[in-house]
Amino acid sequence: MPFEAYNWNVGTEIGGLGCAILHTGHTGNYYFAIDFEWRAKRADGSMRYSSPTAENIPILAAAEGTVVSVEHNSSGFGESVVIEHGATGIRTRYSHMKIMSSGASSIPPEIYTGVIVPQGKRFGYMGTTGSSTGVHLDFTVSSKEADGLWKSTKDRPSLAKIIMEGQLLKSYQVDKCAGGVSNRYYPSSNLMVP
């Protein structure tokens, strides 16, 4: 998981289904993408963060890899980082990261193209940059195809088999939405490293 060891709320599942809506940004070549909301619960059920804007919610590398892209855009993915995970043929994209009150990106200067990051490395904070309407992390998984292109489309058998925290990535779903918020929370065992 791209977060610290709490239980994290899923707002949009693989294929773009959310609370009674289809998120079209999670279809086509972004089918294997999950929106994780800022809501995180501790083991005792209490909320970890008081609000999405009052606190810095760290985003962590889900697995070790090489940073292949750091983007600072006012549209699209906004502040984002893409990591390639060695010989696995898998990349992960972390999008819509925070711009700090100073106006600087929450992506630290030591995160740049070519740097190797360990699992658990913090490289930004959850935000709402680019084409985003609320604080969340858009987490996308893609695979390299024979033509050399990176794809995250529905017909990627390799992506349908990805396991995260002991279950299929495509099993992360929204459920029992109340007030437009899913009550599905998924555990992370990831630990932040310096």
- 192 part of a folded domain: no
CATH number for the domain spanning 118: value is 2.70.70.10
The C-alpha atoms of residue 60 and residue 122 are separated, in whole angstroms, by 4
Residue 124: its pLDDT value, please?
96
Q: What is the pLDDT of residues 72-117, one digit of tens each?
A: 999 999 999 999 999 999 999 999 999 999 999 999 999 999 999 9
- For residue 23, give its domain range: 7-187
Domain count of the fold of the chain: 1
Residue 102 in domain: yes
* pTM metric for this prediction: 0.95
- Closest by CA to 7, choosing from 142, 172, 138, is 172
Asked if residue 1 is part of any domain, the answer here is: no
The answer to whether residue 27 sits within a structural domain is yes
One digit per residue, the tens of pLDDT, for the chain of length 194 reads 999 999 999 999 999 999 989 999 999 999 999 999 999 999 999 999 999 988 999 999 999 999 999 999 999 999 999 999 999 999 999 999 999 999 999 999 999 999 999 999 999 999 999 999 899 999 999 999 888 899 999 999 999 999 999 999 999 999 999 998 999 999 999 999 98
Assess contact for 44 and 30: CB atoms under 8 A.
Answer: no
Which three-class secondary structure state does DSSP give residue 110?
coil
193 in a structural domain: no
Whether 2 is in a domain gets the answer no
The rounded distance, in Å, linking the Cα atoms of 3 and 187 is 9
Instruction: For residue 81, give the amino acid letter.
Output: V
